[in-house]
Amino acid sequence: AQSVTQPDIHITVSEGASLELRCNYSYGATPYLFWYVQSPGQGLQLLLKYFSGDTLVQGIKGFEAEFKRSQSSFNLRKPSVHWSDAAEYFCAVGAKEYGNKLVFGAGTILRVKS
């Protein structure tokens, strides 16, 4: 069965430091890849997506992610974290073989210390 793994449940970084959130997936074919952010009590906001083409994708709020087929990974990065980035981040994967649903990782909670 398809699965999405976010190995880090919590991450704490200092404001201004760089950030990398990990995401690995298990699918047979090239998937559609997404990162969403959720602030407490709020819905999910789409940060960025990868469908095809350039494997480094830019998103909103200064985030980027890189698709690495050989590692089945789609890690999210930001060069300099702001206190307002504190939230929960979800990686999600879609694939034609599994219908129209998105499969989500368990999420990574980001804390930013000043």
Q: Residues in the site for another protein, rule: CB under 8 A?
A: 4, 32, 34, 36, 41-46, 49, 51, 90, 92, 94, 99-107
User: What DSSP string runs through 35-104?
Assistant: EEEE-TT--EEEEEEE-SS-SEEE-GGG-EEEEEGGGTEEEEEESS--GGG-EEEEEEEE-GGGTT--EE
Least distance in Å: CB of 59 to another protein?
13
CB of 70 to another protein, least distance (A): 23
In the complex with another protein, which residue's Cβ is closer, 85 or 88? 88
Q: What is the DSSP letter of 1?
A: -
> Which CB sits closer to another protein, 17 or 60?
60
Give me 47's structure tokens. Answer: 């940060």
Least Å from the CB of residue 83 to another protein:
23
